[in-house]
Chains A and B, each alone.
Chain A
Amino acid sequence: MDQSRIRNFSIIAHIDHGKSTLADRLLERTGAISERDMRSQLLDEMDLERERGITIKANAVRIDYDADSGETYELNIIDTPGHVDFSYEVSRSLAACEGALLLVDASQGIEAQTLANAYLAVESGLEIIPVINKIDLPAADPDRVAEEIAAVLGGSPDEAIRVSAKSGEGIDELLHAIVDRLPAPDGDPDGELRALVFDSYYDTYRGVVSLIRVVDGSITKGDAIRLMAHRHDLNADEIGVRRPAMEPTGGLEAGEVGYVITGVKDIDLIRVGDTVTWADVPSEDPLSGYAEPKPMVFSGLFPTDGDDFERLREALDKLRLNDSSLVYQAETSRALGFGFRAGFLGLLHMEIVRERLEREYDLDLVATAPSVQYIAHLTDGTDRNVQSPQDLPESGSLASIDEPYVKVMIITPSEYIGTVMELVQAKRGIMGEMTYLSPERVELHYEMPLAEIVFDFFDQLKSRTRGYASLDYEPSDYRPSDLVRVDILLNGQPVDAFSTIVHKDGAYSYGKAMVKKLRELIPRQLFDVPIQAAIGSRIISRETVKAKRKDVTAKCYGGDITRKRKLLERQKEGKKRMKMVGSVEVPQEAFVAALKINDE
């Protein structure tokens, strides 16, 4: 295909602003998929993505568009995740595009993460088409939203295309705009092959499938290819495009987007961000990749049944094939036994990994409360990374602790400024700039400890602003903080998995709230269970779960022993999600109780 008739673009959107519906509609309008085969959210393949209405993995779909001019254009939609946790996936996707659709809900206006991603697209030199969706809804105010977009991104409010992805209104105008306004790729079709690997995933039947964007030259089935960073030669066994089903094409030319299968099983051989070139006539000059994602949040993952440790290891190994941002190492907890300390991009990523492990690998897991990575400066002059509260050195050998800070952007309706400021201050936030996007909406900037965000910040922000505020953050630096570790004792025994590092000023109220929450969560046992919070050897709070006095059914259902036995077995099954800590049965949700102590 002549590059002048190729358009590669992403859709940048907030959750629920209609990205998947818009993609579905574009596929449908261009005949890529018949109405009969239409199922919604075509791009979101994972069950979890469909259920949660979010995109986790990047994806790429080619559609052919017959323009009014009589020319057929090749459009490649490169899907991007919308959540802050996956912003590195966004930068991957953007690197394969020349343009982006900035999709904004006509009643909601632009949200912080969307704006952050839009800035990212602008910085990457992409042409942006603002698209205002859901114009058919009664609460739609497209004029206001168009003004808002123009205010933050520049340009004229008239540039925004107004659509209803649901009804299809405006889709033709949007297709025109994509062809007219987005630039065509301009690589060298006759040069040496340079193609960017912007995603790789593992397919059980076919091995590693890599999504690539050819920048220069072309790639043909059977080519010997080289991964430039990895210096590894492979054979291009199959080349094709997704429509969205995989369709072999025999090759890809400059400007095109598609997939390549090389038969390798080891995803680490085809790293995302690497450049593919020919093995016999290699290019000298790799494309610029992007920074490796860094884990921000750490949590312990333990099988409820200790015998499942090996299965957990295998499951993590397999998950990593499709998620190179997941890192983990074996960890031992006195309370929970053998497990793993895993690093995640953020809370949503953590939740998703855990859910996939449980669902796709049939594991029953205990996840501990998330922690960030601290730097402990020891009295002997050395430093230590602390990813888990129990790794915090004893106060005697500890000189000081640094904690990670992030730059936070919050967009909120202006009526909530007061309550947002109050919340951020309570979370040790330092106020930065404040910009009015419009008289009704304001963009606030803060610097905050990441640990405060990792807890329940987002939920609280949402509830205080009736769901209207949105949040984005990026790492900034490490700063010294006055931190202590609060330990929790069950039955007089410290439970390492419950320990948390908190700021000294909040330690007492945290300990009190945590103990109270645990008393609610831990079911009554056959004996009293005291729960205590302690800093060092000082007990700061105590509650008791009173012993259960009765656990017996009255009678035997007229000789129906089978029913009695089945009832007991069912109840036992229900208890499986409990973890024995010493002699105390602790439900899984207790290990993340720290996240819920502010629930009303």
Chain B
Amino acid sequence: MVDDATLEAWFCREVFPLERALTRFIRRNWREESDVLDLRQEVYARVYEAARDGLPRQAGPFVFTVARNHLINCARRARIVSFDQVADLESMDIQPDVLTPDRHLAARDELRRFEAGLEKLPRQCREVVRLRKIEGLTTRETADRLSIARGTVEQQLVHGMRAVADFMRGGSGKVRRPTSKARARNQE
């Protein structure tokens, strides 16, 4: 049984750098775009469960095999998904290109990438993250400095944290909010 500290270090070093390729892989093989991020999170969970019994020698093939099996299971379980999708997935070979992880970034590059992600944030969100990470201000000080509510500071931190994490792993780095479609539906 591998302990959590070892697993966490392994995830950060080997698994999360594969995120861009993994997301692309799921998107290519699953019809519902809105399921992609849920599926990715489930794949990480399955990877965790499988790696607990022993870390694999190579993370890449391991992660994509887990991902493929998970998609097949999901397609089988969801009776609303047609059966040809299951057939497609079962006959699918994992493409060699998805097995190549993004180059591991050196610490300095990671810091640059963090800054680039920060630059992409909306103005207020960027300012809140900057004040916390660089100036070391408290939530209250940030709220006072920007004349906004503390709850807003916290919400902007949540947005910023998530968007920067997405960008650092090769995503678009956009702030995720409830979609306008979801809002329209809720106001019916």
User: Are both chains from one complex?
Assistant: no
Residues of A within 8 A of B (CB): none
